[in-house]
Structure 1
């Protein structure tokens, strides 16, 4: 192989890899711009479903919140510096009743089966919402770690307008030991 042939082969290989890199980056940018996003969980309010530092893939485009979904909200709230992650308990038009003595959440007269919560729910020390008809176009959200979650029970947040929903959390993809789909709470 001549020196000129080696140089042409090297240039050809470099050109191929640069094209491949540009194509991959373009596809990733398009996916994360129009289809989904990546968010980092901040805090312990969603344990045991999600943990602080988990990297989530969100579905953003074409998503309408549904009961049981884990969503990311952009609404500024208390000491949250960025997006907050919570579970949708009820959507617009549904009636939520929280009974701290029984440790239950009832939506439209039906007690929710919540195998995803971390521990029995205790009455929070601050004023909280225990009975609400969720306004149309809004959602009522709670953390899975109810005793360490600032959520829609807090009167300063309450029901959240759906326009604050950044997307539904689909997958944990880092850390690798937690890799997998996120359950919407159904058995």
Structure 2
């Protein structure tokens, strides 16, 4: 080689191994940074979000600092140390700060600012009362969350949780990575994999 050291045959495998290890370390570092600062993986536990989400669904979650705020309809992961032993819970935002939530438990309907919510995603009407007095105006910096399976969900209707401070939200679920067992068929529905929107 002109102007440089000529590589011997024994140096070629070492060069290849060095480049392969360097690439592997770069990939591992990128994955660690991605899952430390940008996203996380969360398993759904229990039936509270059926039929939208099933028990043991594996979700890709965008970490809260990257969400740019939260909106009605977002599926979020919440963690509060004094609620359900600090286990993360998955719920849907139905109202944000300043909005007023009212529930007619006899009719099973939810109202936000006097408007009936069109909730095509719920499993059944909202008949379960958990003790919170309604109507409720969502405080500043908070959201009001409900499970899609309204009659089998611990959510903002429970006075122990109530409106959730957005600082207690770990992130927003953006995609289903791997399906849990669908309750009705006891099988995994791989057709459900993909974005949650």
Aligned position for 1:143: 147
**Local SS of the residue matching 2:148:** coil
CA distance in 1, matches of 2:95, 2:134: 13
Task: Provide the TM-score with structure 1 as the length reference.
Answer: 0.87
Segment of structure 1 superposing worse, 75-84 or 43-52: 75-84
* Residue 11, structure 1, aligned to residue 14, structure 2: yes
Aligned position for 1:115: 120
Aligned position for 1:48: 51
What is the aligned counterpart of 2:196 among 157, 167, 182?
182
Shift of the alpha carbon at 1:135?
Answer: 0.5
RMSD of aligned alpha carbons: 1.8
Stretches of structure 2 that go unaligned for 5 or more consecutive residues are 1-7, 180-188
- Alpha-carbon distance change, 26 to 120 in structure 1, aligned in 2, over 3 angstroms: same
Shift of the alpha carbon at 1:14?
Answer: 2.3
Task: Provide the TM-score with structure 2 as the length reference.
Answer: 0.83
Shift of the alpha carbon at 1:58?
Answer: 1.4
CA distance in 1, matches of 2:155, 2:57: 19
Segment of structure 1 superposing worse, 50-59 or 148-157: 50-59
What is the aligned counterpart of 1:75 among 58, 74, 80?
80
CA distance in 1, matches of 2:88, 2:46: 11
Question: Residues 72-96 of structure 1, C-alpha deviation per residue, up to 9 Å, x if partnerless?
Answer: 0111354355211100011110000
